[in-house]
Amino acid sequence: MSDARIWLHTDRDGTRRVVDPEDVYWLEAHRGDTYVRFRGRKRIKDLRPLARVAAAFAPHGFARVHNNHAVNLRRVIEVRRRTPRDYELRLEPPVNRVLRIGRQYLPTLEDFFS
């Protein structure tokens, strides 16, 4: 585990859980909560909305790419055009997850990868 750690709010009773941002591939919004996604099927639910969780991860190389997703930019291996106006990205193996990129978030990715 690296020196950087982030505390997740995992239970309404105040339980917190620490994660290393390097181990996280992406963050996913779901009904007002956020799932912190790792390799494989493992995930941890944080009770805060994606905007708050993504802000905590931002200093560690994460960026919003869609209203429902933020990604670890170091885990992105491909950005490609889906249609003439839409883009998507693919995360590195073993995850290989493909996520849509919201148009308003494309400039952030272009800045990072240029």
Report, as ranges of residue numbers, the positions in the chain whose pLDDT lies below 70. 1-3
The model carries a pTM of 0.90
Q: Taking the domains of the chain in order of start, what are their residue ranges?
A: 6-113
Strand residue runs (E) in the chain: 6-9, 16-19, 26-30, 33-37, 43-46, 62-66, 69-72, 76-81, 87-91, 98-101
DSSP assignment of 75-101? GEEEEEESSSS-EEEEEPTTT--EEEE
Quote the DSSP letter at residue 33. Answer: E
CATH class of 6-113: mainly beta
Summarised one tens digit per residue, pLDDT across range 44-70 is: 999 999 999 999 999 999 999 999 999
